[in-house]
Amino acid sequence: MFNNTLSKSILIMFLFDLITLVLSTVYWFNHFNLPFEFMDITVLLTTLTGIAVLFLKDNYKIREFNSTLKNSYLLFEGVVFSQIPATILLLTFNQDIKSFEFILFNLLTIYIILRIYRRCFHYYLFNIKRIKNVLIIGSNSNAKLIADEIIAKKALRMEVLGFVEYDEEDTIINDTNIPVFSKIYELDEIIKDKKIDIVIVAIKRRMEETFLTKMVNSIPNNIKIYKMPEFYEMVTGKYFIDRMSINWLFYDYMKNRSKIYDFCKRAYDIIAALIILIVTSPILLYIGIRVKLTDGGNAIYTQNRVGKDGKIFKAYKLRTMYANDYVPKAGQIGHTEPQDEDSRVIPFCKFVRKARFDEIPQMINILKGEMSIVGPRTEWEDLVKIYSKEIPYYSCRMWVKTGWTGWAQINQGHCVLADDVSEKLQYDLYYLKHKNLLWEIGILVKAVFLALGGRHG
């Protein structure tokens, strides 16, 4: 949950939020003399819901933390959601004006305190907290990539103070004004002189024994050391893709296979799909009738999608367009016109598409075992043919069942351009490496929040 190897500040923020939610709820509950028998459950519901919603809204991702108006709104939205379970409980069993007053005062108190804390945290982060000095072993394109990520993510509070050249044949064009040290056997002096806190190894090929020994003798115990792909994952939430990392992914994936996980995942898929279908069935019926009345066509249609191991299946969708005769061509991946401006979309269906209601019939595919709730997005057969030719290692995402939502969708959203799809593949492979059921439940919950706000890709 926390990148505590990069920053302890987020753990402190989490604990502060937890204490604030508990103390504020207890104080205002007692202040308004609400029934004592409801206090424990009210505190528990408010605290657990509040922490869960704040987590889903990325409040505990330091790499993305900034004090912006948008983040202030998301914080307020999260605090509002934290009060919903307690509101339902109290209005069901204690329909009193004091219950309304408790909810209002508790909401405002929690928001104000958390907002003030975040302003203080932001000031500390960017004005007081000591910047950690980073040294990158290697001077190749991988080294340049991780340096660019560190420079771009200012909230990490890290500064790259140099590259150590290892292979003269793979030296980058240095446009960052970061010095390149060519004398690798003075590594201990560089670390001491630059007061290095973190060392990142970004060498592409196998290192020589003498250099490995030199690093062992030169890097003190108090300095953290990371492999470049490992550090890249930590700061981006994406998998670093090259020929060697795909081999490592294979071993990680094969090693973590489990019949227990597969059984629990299938049970989770069935339960979640049934709940989503039951809850949304009145909305789907209403949309289907309106679509049918618009032009007389079928409300539901099927489309060839590619699933696990490249198998083709018929995915169910609510029709939201007057016609769908678009066929992608090589070099023009996807329909490039923004969905809001696409003239093929039935006007009232624009929000239907944003909220992903048109893809809820895919719960039938999930119940049939052709898809999963969470996984790499299930793509159109014609697009997969193009992606597989133009994007290296694209077929690796088909090691698992494709999903109704996934890590890529909640982080990146909808995309069609080749570069964006390549980035989405990084998210998909990150999911392959780290997948676990608790995380997947969190992905689904966040996807629902985003869909209801029309922000799910």
Which tokens in the block code for residue 417?
A: 């351009």
> What span, in angstroms and rounded, lies between the C-alpha atoms of 384 and 333?
10
Q: What mean pLDDT value characterizes the chain?
A: 85
Q: Crossing angle of helices 418-434/243-255, nearest 10°? A: 30
Which range has the worst mean pLDDT, 84-88, 305-309, 327-331, 453-457? 327-331
- Cβ 318 vs Cβ 300: under 8 Å: yes
Residue 156 confidence class, pLDDT cut points 50, 70, 90 = confident
**pLDDT at site 90:** 87
Residue 78 confidence class, pLDDT cut points 50, 70, 90 = confident
The pLDDT tens digits of the residues spanning 334-362 come to: 544 445 556 678 877 888 887 788 899 99
To the question of domain 132-236 being in CATH 3.40.50.720, the answer is yes
> What span, in angstroms and rounded, lies between the C-alpha atoms of 14 and 25?
17
Q: How confident is the model over 4-30, as a mean pLDDT? A: 85
Q: How confident is the model over 55-70, as a mean pLDDT? A: 70
| Burial profile 104-115: b = 16 or more Cβ within 10 angstroms, e = fewer | eebbebbbebbb
> What span, in angstroms and rounded, lies between the C-alpha atoms of 2 and 448?
22
Q: Which amino acid is at 317?
A: K
Q: Which of 16, 13, 2, 83 is nearest to 48 (CA)?
A: 83
| Residues in Cβ contact with 29 at an 8 Å cutoff, skipping those fewer than 6 apart | 39, 42, 43, 102, 106
**pLDDT at site 456:** 58
Which range has the worst mean pLDDT, 12-26, 238-252, 328-342, 400-414? 328-342
**H helical segments located in 138-185:** 141-152
Q: Is the pLDDT of residue 201 over 90?
A: yes
Coil, strand or helix at 178: coil
**Please, what is the Cα angle at 340 between 335 and 344, to 5 degrees?**
60
Which range has the worst mean pLDDT, 83-92, 173-182, 306-315? 173-182
Delimit the domains of the chain by residue range: 9-128, 132-236, 259-452
Residue 457 confidence class, pLDDT cut points 50, 70, 90 = low
**pLDDT at site 398:** 94
Q: Which of 174, 150, 170 is nearest to 160 (CA)?
A: 150
Secondary structure, 3-state, 321-379: ECCCCCCCECCECCCCCCHHHCCCECHHHHHHHHCCHHHCCHHHHHHCCCCEEECCECE
**pLDDT at site 426:** 95
**pLDDT at site 454:** 59
Residue 174 confidence class, pLDDT cut points 50, 70, 90 = low
> What span, in angstroms and rounded, lies between the C-alpha atoms of 405 and 410?
8
Highest mean pLDDT pick, 164-173, 257-266, 332-341, 448-457: 257-266
Residue 91 confidence class, pLDDT cut points 50, 70, 90 = confident
Q: How confident is the model over 380-394, as a mean pLDDT? A: 90
- Answer yes or no: pTM beyond 0.85: no
Q: Is the pLDDT of residue 4 over 50?
A: no
Coil, strand or helix at 136: strand
For β-strands 224-227 and 198-201, DSSP reports them as parallel
Q: Which residue has the higher pLDDT, 3 or 403?
A: 403
